[in-house]
Structure 1
Amino acid sequence: MGSYRYWFDDDVWEWSPEVAAMHGYQHGDVIPTTGLLRSHKHPEDRATFDALVDTMRSTRTHFSSRHRIVDTAGRVHSVAVLGRTFTYDGQVAGSEGYYLDLGVIVGDSVRTRVSSHVESFQRQRSSIEQAKGMLMLVYNIDEDQAFDLLRWRSQQENRKLRELCHDLVASAPVRVHLPESVRRDFDVVVLSPFDE
C-alpha cells in the first residue's frame, strides 16, 4: 500500500516510495507525470485511465480506480486506488489517497484484506480530521489553515502526519482543561436549533 497526491491545475503527481516501487522505481528516480503513469498502464486499461484523468480534471473529482500497472521489469500489478479530493486556499485542488497492490493479497480473503485497508485509511483520516477540527475551534482558523499547521508540525517533528494527529487527539483531553464557562457556552451552541 502506498499514497499519492495529484494537483489538478498544475497536472503534478506526488507518490510515496511504495507507489514508486509498484511502478519499478526507487523513490526519487523519476518525477511522476500523467504521461509516465499512462505509460505504465496495461494497454487494455489506458483508454479508461485517459478518460478518468480527463473527467477528474474537468469536474475536479477524486481519482479512484481499479486497473493494472506494468512495472519497469514488465510485471503486471493489479491495483485498486482509493481517493478523495483535498482543498487548498478554500478550493478543491486535487485528489489524494492510496494505491493497494492487489497482487500481494494472497488466499481467499481478498475482500477481507481490502476492507481492512479501507478501514485503516478511514481511521487514519479520522484522527487527521479530528485534529483539524480541534485547531479550527481553538484558534478560530479555517480547515486549510488547520491542515497547514498540522503539516508544519509534522515536518518540524519529523513524524508522519497521521501519527502526530493521533497523538494530538489522544493527549489534548488529558493536557487541556476547558473552564466550565466555555463548556456552558458550547452547550448553548450544541443545543440551539440550526437554521436550514
Structure 2
Amino acid sequence: MISGEQRVDPELTTVIESVVGGTPCANSGEFHYSLAERRWEWSDDLARMFGYEPGTVRPTTELLLSHQHPDDRATGEAVIHRVEDGEPFCGRHRIIDTADRVREVIVIGDYESDDQGTVVGTTGFYIDLTDALEEERNDALDNVLPETIAARAPIEQAKGILALIYGLNSEQAFAVLKWRSQHTNTKLRALAARLVEEARQFDPNSPGARTRFDHVLLTVHELVDPAADAS
C-alpha cells in the first residue's frame, strides 16, 4: 500500500483520476518504487487488479514476475527492470491475476527525484484495458480519428496516435499526453506537435515500432524547440 509519507507526484495522481474519470474503480492503480530500499508500494486499486485484498500481501519483484503472462514475460520483465533502474518507461503487456484471469494492461512510469535532483525512485500507474478493450479501441477509431483528420490540430493528432498505438480512448490518451506535458514542464501543444512529427518518421508496422514509440513518448520533450515551448 502506498504510504502518505511518500513523495508521490501530485500531478500523477491527477492523471490517474482523469484516466478513470474521477470514479473509484479497479481499472487503474498507482505504484511507487524506492531505489534505496528496493521496496515496492501499491495503491489499493493496484492490489485488487492483481487479485489481492489491500494489505494482505507485500509487493515484491518476484511477486510481480509471477503474475506475468507466459507469452509476454519478456515485456513484463523489461518494464519491471526499468522501474528498478529508475528509468522512464511505457509498456503494454498481459498479467494473470490470482483468479487466473488474463488482464491486458498499460504501465506508464517516470523517475522520482529529491530536491537535489537525485533519482530516488520510480512512480507510475497501471491501466487495465481488459473489460472494455474492444469497445474503447473502436471508440478511438470512430471518434478520435475523424476529429483528428478534420481538425488537424497537434493535440488531436497526438491523441489519435496514442489511441491507436496503445488502444486508449480519447480521454485516456489526453490524460497520458497531459501527464507528459506537466511532468516535463513542456507546453502541451508544443509537446503534441513534436510527438506527431516524431511519429511520422517511423513505420508502425516495422519490427520494434512499439518499443521505439515508447521511447519517443518518454523523451520527446527533449526535442521540443525552446521557441515553440515559449510561444
The TM tier, using the shorter chain, reads 0.5 to 0.7
Give the conservation status (yes or no) of the 8 Å contact 1:105–1:113. Answer: no
Q: CA deviation at 1:87?
A: 0.7
Tell me, in whole angstroms, the C-alpha distance in 1 between the residues paired with 2:184 and 2:37: 26
**Residue matched to 2:99:** 73
1:82 aligns with 2:137: no
Letter of the structure 2 residue corresponding to residue 109 of structure 1 = D
How do 1:169-180 residues align onto structure 2 when only pairs under 5 Å count?
Answer: none
Q: Is the 8 A contact 2:88 2:110 kept in 1?
A: yes
Q: Would you say the 8 A contact 2:35–2:84 is kept in 1?
A: yes
Match of 1:156 in 2: none
Deviations along 1:149-187, one digit per CA (max 9) or x if unpaired, are xxxxxxxxxxxxxxxxxxxxxxxxxxxxxxxxxxxxxxx
Alignment of 1:16-55 (within 5 A): 16-55=43-82
Secondary structure at 1:24 match in 2: coil
Over 3 Å counting, the alpha-carbon distance change for 1:115 and 1:12 in structure 2 is farther
Q: Secondary structure at the match of 1:103?
A: coil
Between structure 1 and structure 2, the one with the greater Rg is 1
Contact 1:7-1:93 at 8 Å conserved across structures: yes
Cα distance in 1 for partners of 2:58, 2:34 equals 14
C-alpha contact (below 8 Å) 1:81/1:98 kept by paired residues:
yes
Note the alpha carbon deviations across 1:91-147, whole angstroms, 9 max, x for none: 1112211111011324112537444224335657878999xxxxxxxxxxxxxxxxx
Over the aligned positions, Cα root-mean-square deviation in angstroms equals: 2.8
Deviations 1:48-96 (A, max 9, x none): 33344335544x3124221111000000000001111111252111221
Q: 1:5 to 1:51 in 2, by over 3 A?
A: same
Q: For the Cα contact (< 8 Å) 1:11–1:34, is it kept in 2? A: no
Could you tell me how far apart the structure 2 residues matched to 1:120 and 1:42 are? 27
Q: Alpha-carbon deviations, 1:6-42, whole Å to 9, x = none?
A: 1223221111111111100111111111110110111
Counting only pairs closer than 5 Å after superposition, residues 155-166 of structure 1 correspond to structure 2 as none
Q: Which runs of 5+ in 2 are unaligned?
A: 1-27, 141-162, 186-231
CA separation of 1:83/1:7 partners in 2, compared to 1, >3 Å: closer, same or farther? same
CA contact (8 A) 1:7 1:94 kept: yes
- TM-score, scaled relative to structure 1: 0.56
User: Which is worse superposed, 87-96 or 103-112?
Assistant: 103-112
Which of 93, 114, 123 is the matching residue for 2:120?
93
TM-score, with normalisation over the residues of structure 2? Answer: 0.48
Question: Percent sequence identity over matched residues?
Answer: 38
| The one of 95, 106, 109 aligned to 2:139 | 109
Count how many residue pairs are aligned between Structure 1 and Structure 2: 129
Equivalent residue of 2:88, what SS? coil
Alignment pair present for 1:120 and 2:147:
no
